[in-house]
Structure 1
Amino acid sequence: MAEENPMTFEDLMSLQTLDFGEGERGKEQFMSVRPAFCAGGGAGASFGGHVYAQGVWAAAQTVGSGMVVHNVHGFFTLPGMPDRPYVYEVTHLSEGKSYCTRNVNVRQPTTPPESRSRFKEEDAGKELGKICFSCICSFKRDEKETFKGHQGVRVQERWKEVLGSRNGEAWEKAPGVDAPWYHRQASTSPPPLLPIFPGLDIRKVNMTHHNTSDPLAYRTLSLYRPFGHLPISLPNLHACAHLYASDKNSLFIISNALGFGDQVGKMGSLSHSVVFHVPASELMFQGHDEEGGKLNWWVQEAWTPRSGQGRGMHESWIWSPSGRHVATTWQEGLIRRAEREEGEKQRLMWEEGMRKNGRLGGRGKL
């Protein structure tokens, strides 16, 4: 069976502008058209990077020409449900010549719509639940440099022995869930049986020989690029693709670094912040490799500096194919270790969703 074509990032981020009367001045509403990715095939919480990136994309519809996102602080207050749309309410907080700021509050209908593959405008007219995500994002215009900036040694040099000259496609696709039990299941299941991650082609670099039992030295490298063409005229869409990538499997670095990847009881994002450091032109997915005219690969380098009290930190740097440090991310997540197998909620919810979708047989041992 051939693997189905993945959804392009532009299609995944599609928004419907909502118009339910005049509303309050300085506020606009939008609704997601495509459902968010769910590693459990439709059961369990949806991928948080979707609402994070699309919330900024919704805010970007309300800013003037030349304004490109440079700073996002988001808070996850409820799990997102993949069987219903996100409704984005964008509030104007400030307007300036160089900077402007938006607040985005996101809710979902309390009941799922009839169609779960492409949502319709009337779906947003249903009763909405409580806020499931909220963020403040700042946009700015490019400006002339008044001093020479600085950055560290580029990731391609520091990890030269690991990355070598291998093309991104030489690495395996990033797993739907970066946990040992998921890797075991994926190794015995044909690709079509596992949900395909939409929007971006993300590859996980094998860091086995580097990572030891020291959680502070634990590192992950992810290579990514979008599926489909992103218009050069939409720099904020390019930025949102980086935001989307920044959340992929992020918190699993904590459980894996601490050695309990198979015993996760509960995990979820609490807050996520990203700061872009470069002008809009350096956020764009441009350039081609020498082999097939394909877009070059961007790199996310991640680590975990601290954990405790049922929480953990994920930090990362995002690098361009040319070695520019493009963005810095900080994420705090709730993470708890299960004392018994029955408490491994992440795995059990995934199994339940896969069974409901006919993608997994008897229970078995993962």
Structure 2
Amino acid sequence: MPADEYPDPTTSLLELLNLSDADSAHTDEEIFVGARRSQPNQRVFGGQVLGQALIAAMRTVDERPIHSMHGYFLRPGDPDQPITFGVQRLRDGRSFSARRTHAYQNGVPILSLIASFQVDDVGLEHFEPMPQGMPDPESLPSTAELLGKFDHPVARAWAFERPFDIRHITPALYVQSKGKPTATNAVWMKTTAPMPADQSLHRAALAFASDYTLLEPILRRHGMSWVAPGMSVASLDHAMWWHRPVRVDEWLLYVQQSPSASGARGLAQGRIYSQDGLLVASVAQEGMIRVPRDGKSKVIGALQKQVMAQKLRRMASQK
């Protein structure tokens, strides 16, 4: 299907974030139902569940923007089944509100998160500066330009159905890993079309997009791509802090790094900047990354060599 025949994916994003009330449900939770969307890998994208769970929580809070969330992915989601969101009001104080949201399928939770909201306030101000020397996003190829030529359902979904235009500054890892192995990654991103002005929508959409490339610095550090044979990757948890108002329909710089990987898990951290250099959000996620047995032996062998080299350097320095 030619690219211009695909529906606008930002419209799909807005439909996913437009939850309906479930008036017939009677529990200690306030219940909402999210739209579903078929996906070629038969698993609900984690960012979708995050964004929808946050919208559900936001529906129960008046005039207090979200400033942080901490969530766990408990089970893979089925894209062919509806997702029900149950929100529990944990606290409403003078300045802060807290909500717990569970996302359910078939009567069991697939995601559990707690979100915190705060009235607008003033105080101390500082932030880590935006990295310098980044290329202009318009000068970089889009995902559609990189993957649109491949006749594969996953490639075409990533190229034409994602609601965000993602442009890699470090070489993309879709089909191969290029360059020196390093535990860093950087992309520009924005929605494919303008969004309504509602700041809650923009913050939920940013959570949606923050799950796209966050595990890539772990893969890049070990010279792996998303199509490595036999590799299994899944997000385990997700934490996010919104520092300042944000617009996701304007270019955002997402810089990521991984401080550690072990035990078939990797930790990734990210900072998201507006194009004029303001730090608007920070993200952290641990992911499960299982590699094929032969790949494991290579990784373990490389680690053993590093440990032995460190021991030899220490011994030499003590002489």
Work out the CA distance in 2 between the residues paired with 1:250 and 1:51: 16
Match of 1:143 in 2: 121
Match of 1:20 in 2: 24
Matched, 1:302 2:266: no
1:273 to 211, 224, 239: 239
Deviation of 1:187 after TM superposition, in Å, equals 4.9
Q: 1:33 to 1:189 in 2, by over 3 A?
A: same
Does the 8 Å contact 1:14/1:34 carry over to 2?
no
1:212 to 180, 189, 194: 180
Match of 1:260 in 2: 224
Match of 2:35 in 1: 33
Work out the CA distance in 2 between the residues paired with 1:264 and 1:205: 27
Matched, 1:203 2:167: yes
Does the 8 Å contact 1:12/1:199 carry over to 2?
no
Deviation of 1:257 after TM superposition, in Å, equals 1.7
TM-score normalised according to structure 1 size: 0.70
Does the 8 Å contact 1:264/1:335 carry over to 2?
no
TM-score normalised according to structure 2 size: 0.80
Deviation of 1:305 after TM superposition, in Å, equals 0.8
Does the 8 Å contact 2:239/2:285 carry over to 1?
yes
Counterpart secondary structure, 2:109: coil
Does the 8 Å contact 1:12/1:198 carry over to 2?
no
Work out the CA distance in 1 between the residues paired with 2:153 and 2:101: 36
Match of 1:2 in 2: 2
Q: 1:173 to 1:82 in 2, by over 3 A?
A: farther
Q: Output the amino acid matched with 2:99.
A: R
Match of 1:79 in 2: 76
Deviation of 1:221 after TM superposition, in Å, equals 1.4
Q: Output the amino acid matched with 2:180.
A: T
Deviation of 1:331 after TM superposition, in Å, equals 0.2
RMSD: 2.6
Alignment deviations for residues 164-187 of structure 1 (CA, whole Å, 9 cap, x no partner):
xx3x34323348xxxxxxx7x765
Q: 1:1-366 maps to which residues of 2 (within 5 A)? A: 1-3=1-3, 4-8=6-10, 9-21=13-25, 23-25=26-28, 27-35=29-37, 38=39, 41=40, 43-64=41-62, 66-108=63-105, 128-145=106-123, 147=124, 149-155=125-131, 157=132, 160=133, 162-163=134-135, 166=136, 168-174=137-143, 187-189=149-151, 194-195=156-157, 196-207=160-171, 212-213=180-181, 215=182, 218-232=183-197, 234-261=198-225, 262-278=228-244, 282-285=245-248, 296-339=250-293
Alignment deviations for residues 171-212 of structure 1 (CA, whole Å, 9 cap, x no partner):
23348xxxxxxx7x7654389971133322222224489952
Work out the CA distance in 2 between the residues paired with 1:270 and 1:325: 25
Work out the CA distance in 2 between the residues paired with 1:211 and 1:142: 44
Deviation of 1:96 after TM superposition, in Å, equals 1.6
Does the 8 Å contact 1:6/1:198 carry over to 2?
no
Q: 1:303 to 1:193 in 2, by over 3 A?
A: closer
Structure 1: gaps (5+ residues):
109-127, 176-182, 286-294, 342-366
Match of 1:344 in 2: none
Counterpart secondary structure, 2:201: helix
Counterpart secondary structure, 1:194: helix
Counterpart secondary structure, 2:108: coil
Does the 8 Å contact 1:10/1:228 carry over to 2?
no
Does the 8 Å contact 1:70/1:276 carry over to 2?
yes
Deviation of 1:271 after TM superposition, in Å, equals 0.7
Structure 2: gaps (5+ residues):
296-319
Work out the CA distance in 1 between the residues paired with 2:285 and 2:31: 27
Work out the CA distance in 2 between the residues paired with 1:81 and 1:46: 6
- The share of aligned pairs that are identical, in percent, is 26
Q: How many residue pairs align between the two structures? A: 282
Alignment deviations for residues 227-282 of structure 1 (CA, whole Å, 9 cap, x no partner):
333222x211110111111100322331232123324532111111001122xxx3
Does the 8 Å contact 2:237/2:287 carry over to 1?
yes
Match of 1:119 in 2: none
Does the 8 Å contact 2:71/2:239 carry over to 1?
yes
Work out the CA distance in 2 between the residues paired with 1:331 and 1:312: 8
